[in-house]
Amino acid sequence: MGVSSGGYAAILFGSLCHITNVISFIPRTNLKGIRGIVDNKYENLKNIINNDTDYLLYGDLSVKDKNHNHHISQCENLEGFSSIKIVKKISLDMKKLRDDGTIKNELDKIINQV
């Protein structure tokens, strides 16, 4: 689980390790055009998505600038994979998701899958 660049890391390492579930909030999924990337094979996360992992991505529809790291297009970059579910929020507020139990409920669903 991670937020923003931590969301990128959750998707990347979750995919590489073939873990069961990843939850990612406003992740950057395509780093094209960003300098300093060590390995280009991880530039676009759609190249490493697998069917062993269930991915839950939360995106923010209120970000209008397509070049912004948290624009919904970063989540939509991974649409089309059966293992990807995208939840689109009008305004994503992590504190609210914590306080209203959304995050806990998602974690409980994963824990109770066993």
Q: What would the pLDDT profile of 9-67 be if each residue is shown by its tens digit?
A: 999 999 999 999 999 999 999 998 777 766 788 999 999 999 999 999 999 999 999 98
Contact 83, 55 (CB under 8 A): yes
Residue 32: the pLDDT is: 85
Specify the pTM: 0.93
Please report, for residues 6, 43, 55, 65, 100, the alpha-carbon distance to residue 82 in angstroms, rounded to integers and kept in the order given: 23, 21, 9, 28, 28
Q: What is the mean pLDDT of residues 61-75?
A: 94
Residue that the structure tokens 């991880």 belong to: 42
Q: Which of residues 82 and 39 earns the better pLDDT score?
A: 82
Domains of the chain by range and CATH?
2-111 (3.40.50.1820)
The secondary element (H helix, E strand) that includes residue 54 is: strand 54-60
Residue 92: the pLDDT is: 95
